[in-house]
Structures are given as structure tokens and as C-alpha cells.
Amino acid sequence: MPVFMLVLTLIAILVHVALMKGRSAKKIVEVTLMYLLVLSIGAGALIAGLMHVFNGPATAKMIGWPAGSPFQYEVGVADLAFGLIAFLCLFIRGSFWLAAIIANSFFLISCMLGHIRSMAATGNFAAYNIGPNIIWGDLLLPLALIGLYIAYKKMK
């Protein structure tokens, strides 16, 4: 799902930038950040949260986890909360974006560490434990957001 959301996000960014008047490097970075936050993080986290909360056993199987853990509901609710925060970036700007990036990045990178621990401890190489979707969504996306935000703030 994260790679699909990335492709959708990139298409949205390209369309937005193509239609943009008064294009500047700072405006392009701002638009990129907004779409990454709202679509890749926001929509992606909302979908993941709904999957954990309402389709827990199937979601657990895709991750290589045993089904039935009550913690899966808690992870789902956390995903929903982070998705809501990221979606609100569409309406709330400024320092709110930084807070959304910090909170989501901490959560996602911590999840990535958990997936690596699971792989090392149990040999869990399930696609949604350590596959390309997880590497993009839990590691590369947060790093991209952090880098883009720093670049955005340094631009005049």
C-alpha cells in the first residue's frame, strides 16, 4: 500500500506543479511536502489503521504476526490518529507541519526498528514486515519528509 500511495502522491504533485502559476523552488517543495503529508502519510495511515482495526487477522497474516493480539487494535488506533494529524496538514500549516513530521517520523522509524527486530529474531521476511512497502513507508518516507522540511525552511 505505501508504494501505491507514493505513486498516487507523485502523480498528484506532478499535476499540481504543472498547473501551478508562479512556480518557485520553495513552492514546489511546499507542495511536495503537503502531498507527502496528506496522501502518503495521512491517507496511508488511515488505510493501515482501518485494516488493523477492522481486518486484524488478515492484516496480521500479511505482516507475519500471529492473529488475535489486542495490541493490533492499539496499533490501528495509533495509525488512525497519525493519519488524522497528517490529513489536518491540508488545513493547518506552519509549525503544525513540523509537529506532524516529528510525530509520524518517530512512530514510523520506530515501527521499522520493530520490523527489523522481528526479522532478526524470528526470520519474519513477510512482505509487510520487511518488504519494499515497509522500507519505503516506515524508513524512506520519514527521512524524505525530514529532509524536505529542512530544505523548505532554509529556502528564501
Amino acid type, 121: A
Residues (pLDDT < 50) of the chain are none
132-137, long-range: CB < 8 A, 24+ apart: 132/3, 133/1, 133/2, 133/3, 134/2, 136/2, 136/3, 136/6, 137/1, 137/2, 137/3, 137/5, 137/40, 137/44, 137/108
Q: What is the pLDDT of residue 26?
A: 96
Contact 144, 151 (CB under 8 A): no
Q: Residue 73's domain spans which residues?
A: 2-154
pLDDT (tens digit per residue) in 95-118: 999 999 999 999 999 999 999 999
Report how far residue 65's alpha carbon sits from residue 18's, in angstroms, rounded to the nearest whole number: 43
pTM: 0.89
Report how far residue 106's alpha carbon sits from residue 113's, in angstroms, rounded to the nearest whole number: 11
As for how many domains the chain has, the answer is 1
